[in-house]
Amino acid sequence: EDRPDVERAEPPDAEAEDQALEHHIDIHAVQRLPAEEHHRQYDEQAVEVVAKFARLKASLMPYLYRNAVYTHKTGIPMMRSMVLEFGETDRTVCYLDKQYMLGDNLLVAPIFNDKSIGEFYLPEGRWTDFLTGKEYNGEKWYKDTYDYYHIPLMVRPDSIVAVGACDETCEYDYAEGVTYKVYALEDGNSAESFVVDGDGNIVSKVSVTRNGDDYSIKFEGDKACKVEFINTDKEVVEFNKSGEITV
């Protein structure tokens, strides 16, 4: 709900609100390169790394912009500490200062060393690496080595992430051809996600409920979308208009 004590400005602008992933692009492009290469900050490899994460950010704009609108309405930060999201149920997160939630469903653990070592903690549940699809069990610490093109970017259990059809610019129709990716939905649970337009209005929405091996999907919108179930044997479901289906 809107906070009545906060004066509201205009709805967030796409170019102004999509910076949440950019702070660690420079880390990948510069700090993680070998020390002798730091003076060549913008060599070919650094450019490739920046391009990789710029495309990632562009494809995540439906998700990022929805969360930016939520921040605009509520004042809850888009980049939020782990304790803000999980502090009531997991005391371990009270001491984490090198990872954060990017919106409601993505956990980011930037790599701040030139050894390319990423170390992070995951709260309860079955988390999924957004970039590789690998699953991790929660309530555990993890440590691994990552190349320049990867970081720990983990998807929260029981969540749906909307991924755009474009990765070349941050300004496009986020609802057109969007893919809703369903992650680690446990039996009996439900999840939903939606896309908003420039005025903050919902223009595309998907909700999914799991019952055993069956997934009930409801889509609301007038632009084509896809629903993809990550790490399952379910085929991609396509909608051209509002409807419901069980797979």
Residue 223 has pLDDT above 50, yes or no: yes
Asked whether the beta carbons of 101 and 85 are under 8 A apart, the reply is yes
For residues 11 and 103, give the distance between their C-alpha atoms in angstroms, rounded to a whole number: 17
Asked whether the beta carbons of 69 and 200 are under 8 A apart, the reply is yes
Residue 27 has pLDDT above 50, yes or no: no
For residues 179 and 185, give the distance between their C-alpha atoms in angstroms, rounded to a whole number: 16
User: Which of the 8 DSSP states describes residue 28?
Assistant: I
pLDDT tens digits for range 135-166:
999 999 999 999 989 999 999 999 999 999 99
For residue 50, what pLDDT is reported? 86
State both tokens at 81.
Answer: 């500490």
14: which residues sit within 8 A by CB, 6+ positions away?
61, 65, 170, 171, 198
Asked whether the beta carbons of 227 and 219 are under 8 A apart, the reply is yes
Residue 40 has pLDDT above 80, yes or no: no
Helix (H, G, I), strand (E, B) or coil at 78: coil
Residue 16 has pLDDT above 50, yes or no: no
Strands 159-163 and 153-155: unpaired
For residue 25, what pLDDT is reported? 45
What band does 32 get if pLDDT is binned at 50, 70 and 90? low
Spatial strand order in the sheet of 126-129 = 79-80, 100-102, 106-108, 153-155, 126-129, 135-137
State both tokens at 102.
Answer: 């990017």
State both tokens at 56.
Answer: 């990632």
For residue 48, what pLDDT is reported? 87
